Structure 1
Amino acid sequence: MPVKQQIFDTLKEYFGYDSFRPLQEEIIDAIFDQKDNLVIMPTGGGKSICYQLPALLLPGITLVISPLIALMKDQVDGLKANGIKAAFVNSSQNENEQQEIYKDLLEKNIKLLYLAPESLSFLDAIFSQIEISLIAIDEAHCISAWGHDFRPAYTQLGYLKNKFPNTPVIALTATADKATRQDICNQLNIPHALQHLASFDRKNLGLEVRPGNKRIEQILDFLEDKKNECGIIYCLSRKTTEMLAEKLQNNGFKAEAYHAGIDHAKRSKTQEHFINDTIEIVCATIAFGMGIDKSNVRWVIHYNLPKNIEGYYQEIGRAGRDGLPSETLLFHSYADVVQLQKFANMSGNQEVQLAKLDRMKQYADSLSCRRKILLSYFGELIEEDCGNCDVCKNPPVFIDGTVIAQKALSCVFRVKEKEPIGTIIDIMRGSQNATIVDNGYQNLKTYGISKDIAWRDWQQYIIQLINQGYLEIAFHKNNVLRLTALSKKVLFDGEKVSLANLKEFEKRKEVVITQKEDKGAAPNLFEKLRLLRLELSREAGIPAYQIFNDATLKEMEKFRPMTDTEFMQISGVGRQKMQNYGSDFIKAIIDFSSEKTKKKKKGGPKKGNTHKETLELYKEGLSIEEIAIKRQLAQSTVFSHILKLHESGEDVDLNQFISTADIESVRKAKIELDDPGTLKPYFDHFEQAMDYNTLKIALTILKNNETTKKV
């Protein structure tokens, strides 16, 4: 096992962190002890580092079984951005590309290899020639029929432990109840695996549930101050995703739909646009988002009720992966329950699915702390209310609902428990539709007894009665309402019933709207850094969050590092990212601080332009290193100054900062790559051996030479 200092040095150098999150160090130690592990860690909890860090220190290759092509690409791009040798194999590649990976594996040029279960046969021919040090099964709930996203292809993975009995296996998932956890271990042939159950308490996620009336209007209100924030809206139907995306586009939002009915190329493009911040919102079915490590998703909306708490918790966990405050909003209606009940009836384990749906419904209708309900579902108990859900922020005011309850229960009794919620409400409100007339319900004593209560309010009151056990839905009997043993106490024994005052729902909505953050103020440093990150990501051809996540930018805003040493102290800054991006961010911080100083001094003496100061020292004959020392800047910052000065027409000879051999290498790569227009393909072409500053200088010189020839 590597010494502790070596592990921590690797954590900082490649991932930019000085300390581990809860359970990570314990799991990594167990891997080095050759033990099998099952890791249940919520989305954003840091599962990936649990196998990615050991992979760097183990002698052989780490195999990572992953369910989605997009997930593999996202993970591998992120690893390469950190200077880690990784690759993936899937059906999107041609034979030549896969042969290159064969070669790299045999030459030990890859530390992590990502594959789908269906692609494992790719390694059959070379299994005996490569050393497998670790096997990681990501999204492990897919192996279990008890899980929320069963994938039959995962059931073959048990043979890996038989083939490599001495190689540790680590299975990881964001959500799994006790039955699912046991099934995962059995299926993977790791019955004695150490089980690591992390806390599911994501304190940074605000939880809110609202009735599903006027959803689009509510969503537009919710998004009013989130024009520059990324989010996901989950819907039950394909049609809804398309309708909603169009509505959002018409209201000025960059949104696209995503579902299984869209062709593969367009789905991939939508996902790529979202990852790269080209669009801000994806309206998707549950097929979207699994395992995508996009850290700057600031909110998640469920347009419809999810089918179970596991899926819901994993989906909301895609918000706030960087630990910053993020919002979640769930809409629900009786129609959602009916639709999901139909889906459950068509499943192979109907009883389990219906039971999980019932728990989901109870959560949505709850009038107590929502985080307590979620955590208790996963076996984690907390005593104090969370203070960060809609119920805690706006506790409901209860009214005496005995008369309301008696009217509803009496109506159910008089129709002989043969009608669903909608018909019961129609009777009490005195409707004259075909169902009422054909069944003679207009002759009942309860017909028209409560026209003063709105249809929508009646629906909510009846749901509360169901939650309190006074009514139940007979799903197997066309969703008719049935009386319970408690019903008789209200109808005949004078038992009192308390119901939530429905005006509270409107008050909550008003609070959300009136407490919006004022974003009309002048841009702060975080916003400046966010825009710089976006510019650099597009130039390099990688997602913005793979440069730095929002939490790292917030820390830069707070501590304002202005030297290489200070910048390396920021959480999330590793050696590779310091080399690639340090100069640009340090410059942005210095420039912002200078502007703030100017504004404070107002009429006072003006500070010199930072680029001109560099130019003056350059003209004096100082080297890049000498300028950096004299100005107390990073060398990479000085390099960026030199490039900007050259671009602005100053007499700066770039050739003195690069060798002729490097220029020639980049020229050949430009032809081979067909001038891709971004730096990332060049960076990958040279296997990260040539830094971004050198690439920028070489490409600038080549461009100048081409311009001169044309003239």
Structure 2
Amino acid sequence: MVPDPLPLLAKVFGYPAFRGVQAEVVERVLAGRRTLAVMPTGAGKSLCYQLPAVMMEGCCVVVSPLIALMHDQLRGAEAVGIRAATLTSVDENRGETMARFRNGDLDLLYVAPERASSGHFRELLASAKLSLFAIDEAHCVSEWGHDFRPDYRLLEPLMDAFPDVPRLALTATADAHTRADIAKQLGISADGTIVSGFDRPNIRYSISPKANTNRQIADLIAATPGPGIVYAQTRAATEKLAEALARTGRPTRAYHAGLEPHIRAKNQADFVASEDMVICATVAFGMGIDKPDVRFVAHAGLPKSIEAYYQETGRAGRDGDPSVAHLFWGAEDFARARQRIGEVEPERQAGERARLQSLAALVETAGCRRRILLRHFGEDLAEDCGNCDNCLGSPDAVDATETARKFLSAVFRTGQMFGAGYIESVLTGQSSERSLMNGHEALSVWNIVSGEEVALLKPVGRALLLRDALRTNPHGGLEFGPAARAILKGEARVSLIVPAPREKRRRRSAPVAGNPADNPLFEALRERRRTLAKDAGVPPYVIFHDSVLRDMAARRPGSRAELALLSGIGARKLDAYGDAFLNVIRAAA
């Protein structure tokens, strides 16, 4: 008979009940059944193996892809009293950890897939009782996933050597094809997959064309208190962005693989511990961060896929508080993405084109962004989300097909070798030495765009590149893509999104989660949390999330017994920190 997990859920983690599909996943694990759980970021995936690890006899082995992520998970587990350790190349206590494992003194052991697949590690596992294999970020096992790691393919033989040990694979990012591949690669039957909803309703999705990206992101930072991540596409771009955004007054750091290891580690540690820092990073940053209080994620360019976009934006608001995801894109981003697709293996190109088309649909839509995003993962919303820029701003769409045909005609008649700026100058009759020398002022497309139509040229150029009606050649000139012919023949329409006038926009400022009631007790509790976190050498959120402090400020518990009734306060944290926070509450009475 499967034991009741609720008493330990309350005692260890401080939660009175499970969320979402947690109960179903935990029940399967406790029953010894193999399971693949697909749950959105912030839905509590780690609890699905941490709670069984406390309840079951033996040690749960957690395979995780990044050292930083393992150490972050370790801090959280130890904070609630779980006996946990990591076995990584940077840990100096490896001998002690292996001894604790053999002696049965560990509930959780975190390792990387490279170590887990080694023969020496298999021998270590055979020396003690195992309770569970937990495979975190399980999409890394699939070549169809966006973060494929070959060493994940060696995990099934390892687990097969211990056939009586249940296995749990966890991921937040996998479409139906990837889910099937994960289950196959890890020896999990098709009926062992549990898919929670992919929706993250607390995240507000916004997408804008680039127009002075530094200024756009600076405006987002000014409107959004709290920590944030800005993703850039190159190492140099992260450093330039960090330098520019530092002028906003917020502490700012850069992060990329080219930094000296000690600088990279310090920048990451500073960000994890901060309550207001902005970090400008390549996509190398993020999977190793389990920071729950990230208030915004900005993309200063196009993500590599819609799965990557979902995962990267999912690093905002893991604590459930309101957060923002804002993507700034340019037509050149799509042009570069198509060039990259041409460089991958032929058998993968169709799938990559489909992913890029999904991103294009997300960028182009005048409707609900969340509906487009979730549809990619096989989920349909019953109604518009009410929490994306289009739902909040009610954009209009205009038919720009004729302008698009003029643009394409100008590209063709000038020889498919000039950039967008020159094409615009031809269409608007801007005479220059180049137009005279090339004889372009005698063309039928010379000066055929005027008045209000001029304002459509730049967005039309972007739309044609996005739709693959235009492509850029290696010299930056525009040439026809496969979608050009249908537009020129009138078989396809081109519509453009026109942002709503400012006075029509509703609730356009970024949502703020921190202290909406301006409660001085909440700020005093946060200050005490900072002090405790510094003394303990952990990030503030490891002590308590903001939501717990807001509960304290609103309910003002007067005793440990009353404090224990608040969600998120387990026995270990009550003993360690309860009196410190009760003293702050009493002082404010």
The TM-score normalised by the length of structure 2 is 0.91
1:631 is matched with which residue?
none
Query: 2:280 aligned to 280, 283, 287, which one?
Result: 283
Cα contact 1:143–1:155 (8 A) shared by 2: yes
Seen in structure 2, the aligned counterparts of structure 1 residues 552 and 346 have a Cα distance that, compared at 3 Å, is farther
What are the Cα deviations for residues 308-344 of structure 1, in whole angstroms up to 9, with x where unaligned?
Answer: 1111111111111111111111100012222333333
**C-alpha distance in 1, partners of 2:71/2:202?**
28
Output aligned runs, 1:242-321, within 5 Å.
242-277=239-274, 280-321=277-318
Seen in structure 2, the aligned counterparts of structure 1 residues 435 and 2 have a Cα distance that, compared at 3 Å, is farther
What is the identity, as a one-letter code, of the residue corresponding to 1:387? G
Seen in structure 2, the aligned counterparts of structure 1 residues 38 and 496 have a Cα distance that, compared at 3 Å, is closer
1:329 is matched with which residue?
326
SS of the counterpart of 2:279?
A: strand
Cα contact 2:332–2:465 (8 A) shared by 1: no
What are the Cα deviations for residues 535-570 of structure 1, in whole angstroms up to 9, with x where unaligned?
Answer: 210111111111111222222222222211111111
Seen in structure 2, the aligned counterparts of structure 1 residues 150 and 455 have a Cα distance that, compared at 3 Å, is farther
Structure 1 window deviating more from structure 2 (457-466 vs 304-313): it is 457-466
Cα contact 1:319–1:326 (8 A) shared by 2: yes
Cα contact 1:86–1:112 (8 A) shared by 2: yes
What is the identity, as a one-letter code, of the residue corresponding to 1:443? A
**C-alpha distance in 1, partners of 2:472/2:168?**
40
Seen in structure 2, the aligned counterparts of structure 1 residues 392 and 513 have a Cα distance that, compared at 3 Å, is closer
SS of the counterpart of 2:72?
A: helix
What is the identity, as a one-letter code, of the residue corresponding to 2:549? L
Cα contact 1:421–1:480 (8 A) shared by 2: no
SS of the counterpart of 1:181?
A: helix
Query: Where do 5+ consecutive residues of structure 2 fail to align?
Result: none
Output aligned runs, 1:414-563, within 5 Å.
414-415=413-414, 421=420, 423-431=422-430, 440-450=439-449, 452=451, 457-464=456-463, 472-474=469-471, 480-482=479-481, 483-489=484-490, 499-501=496-498, 504=500, 512=508, 524-563=520-559
Q: Offset at 1:156?
A: 1.3
2:88 is matched with which residue?
90
Q: Offset at 1:350?
A: 3.3
Q: Offset at 1:276?
A: 1.0
What are the Cα deviations for residues 275-311 of structure 1, in whole angstroms up to 9, with x where unaligned?
Answer: 1117611101111111522111111111111111111
Seen in structure 2, the aligned counterparts of structure 1 residues 439 and 266 have a Cα distance that, compared at 3 Å, is same
**C-alpha distance in 2, partners of 1:578/1:535?**
17
Q: Offset at 1:98?
A: 1.1
Seen in structure 2, the aligned counterparts of structure 1 residues 196 and 386 have a Cα distance that, compared at 3 Å, is same
Seen in structure 2, the aligned counterparts of structure 1 residues 487 and 525 have a Cα distance that, compared at 3 Å, is farther
Seen in structure 2, the aligned counterparts of structure 1 residues 518 and 555 have a Cα distance that, compared at 3 Å, is closer
Seen in structure 2, the aligned counterparts of structure 1 residues 405 and 321 have a Cα distance that, compared at 3 Å, is same
SS of the counterpart of 2:126?
A: helix
Seen in structure 2, the aligned counterparts of structure 1 residues 399 and 123 have a Cα distance that, compared at 3 Å, is closer
SS of the counterpart of 1:387?
A: coil
Query: 2:344 aligned to 334, 340, 347, which one?
Result: 347
Seen in structure 2, the aligned counterparts of structure 1 residues 277 and 447 have a Cα distance that, compared at 3 Å, is same
**C-alpha distance in 2, partners of 1:518/1:53?**
29
By percentage of residues, which structure has more helix?
A: 1
**C-alpha distance in 2, partners of 1:379/1:321?**
22
**C-alpha distance in 2, partners of 1:136/1:154?**
12
Q: Is residue 2:26 matched to residue 1:3?
A: no
1:129 is matched with which residue?
127
Q: Offset at 1:394?
A: 0.9
Cα contact 1:297–1:320 (8 A) shared by 2: yes
Structure 1 window deviating more from structure 2 (83-92 vs 508-517): it is 508-517
SS of the counterpart of 2:18?
A: coil
SS of the counterpart of 2:489?
A: helix
Q: Offset at 1:418?
A: 6.6
How many aligned positions are there?
581
Cα contact 1:420–1:481 (8 A) shared by 2: no
What are the Cα deviations for residues 605-627 of structure 1, in whole angstroms up to 9, with x where unaligned?
Answer: xxxxxxxxxxxxxxxxxxxxxxx
Cα contact 2:135–2:170 (8 A) shared by 1: yes
Q: Offset at 1:425?
A: 3.0
2:365 is matched with which residue?
366
What is the identity, as a one-letter code, of the residue corresponding to 1:3? P
1:575 is matched with which residue?
571
Output aligned runs, 1:381-420, within 5 Å.
381-399=380-398, 401=400, 403-412=402-411, 414-415=413-414
2:212 is matched with which residue?
214
2:42 is matched with which residue?
44
**C-alpha distance in 2, partners of 1:411/1:523?**
61
SS of the counterpart of 1:367?
A: coil
SS of the counterpart of 1:342?
A: helix
Q: Offset at 1:50?
A: 0.8
SS of the counterpart of 1:44?
A: coil
What is the identity, as a one-letter code, of the residue corresponding to 2:378? G
**C-alpha distance in 1, partners of 2:51/2:410?**
64
What is the identity, as a one-letter code, of the residue corresponding to 2:167? V
**C-alpha distance in 1, partners of 2:433/2:296?**
43
**C-alpha distance in 2, partners of 1:159/1:434?**
69
What is the identity, as a one-letter code, of the residue corresponding to 1:81? A
Seen in structure 2, the aligned counterparts of structure 1 residues 510 and 10 have a Cα distance that, compared at 3 Å, is closer
**C-alpha distance in 1, partners of 2:326/2:334?**
17
Structure 1 window deviating more from structure 2 (423-432 vs 519-528): it is 519-528
Query: 1:224 aligned to 216, 222, 225, which one?
Result: 222
Q: Alignment identity in percent? A: 38
What is the identity, as a one-letter code, of the residue corresponding to 2:3? V
Seen in structure 2, the aligned counterparts of structure 1 residues 67 and 455 have a Cα distance that, compared at 3 Å, is farther
What is the identity, as a one-letter code, of the residue corresponding to 1:150? F
**C-alpha distance in 2, partners of 1:520/1:112?**
38
1:117 is matched with which residue?
113
What is the identity, as a one-letter code, of the residue corresponding to 2:489? K
Seen in structure 2, the aligned counterparts of structure 1 residues 269 and 402 have a Cα distance that, compared at 3 Å, is closer
SS of the counterpart of 1:207?
A: strand
Q: Which has the higher contact order (CA 8 A, sep 6+)?
A: 2
1:636 is matched with which residue?
none
Seen in structure 2, the aligned counterparts of structure 1 residues 11 and 534 have a Cα distance that, compared at 3 Å, is same
Q: Offset at 1:420?
A: 6.3
Output aligned runs, 1:613-692, within 5 Å.
none
Cα contact 1:419–1:481 (8 A) shared by 2: no
2:99 is matched with which residue?
103
**C-alpha distance in 2, partners of 1:146/1:499?**
32
Q: Offset at 1:447?
A: 2.1
2:177 is matched with which residue?
179
Query: 1:57 aligned to 34, 55, 58, which one?
Result: 55
What are the Cα deviations for residues 181-238 of structure 1, in whole angstroms up to 9, with x where unaligned?
Answer: 11112222324461111101111111111111111112222222445x1111111111
Cα contact 1:222–1:512 (8 A) shared by 2: no
Query: 1:34 aligned to 32, 35, 41, which one?
Result: 32
The TM-score normalised by the length of structure 1 is 0.76
**C-alpha distance in 2, partners of 1:246/1:154?**
38
**C-alpha distance in 2, partners of 1:322/1:517?**
10
**C-alpha distance in 2, partners of 1:248/1:510?**
27
Seen in structure 2, the aligned counterparts of structure 1 residues 489 and 375 have a Cα distance that, compared at 3 Å, is same
Q: Offset at 1:498?
A: 5.3
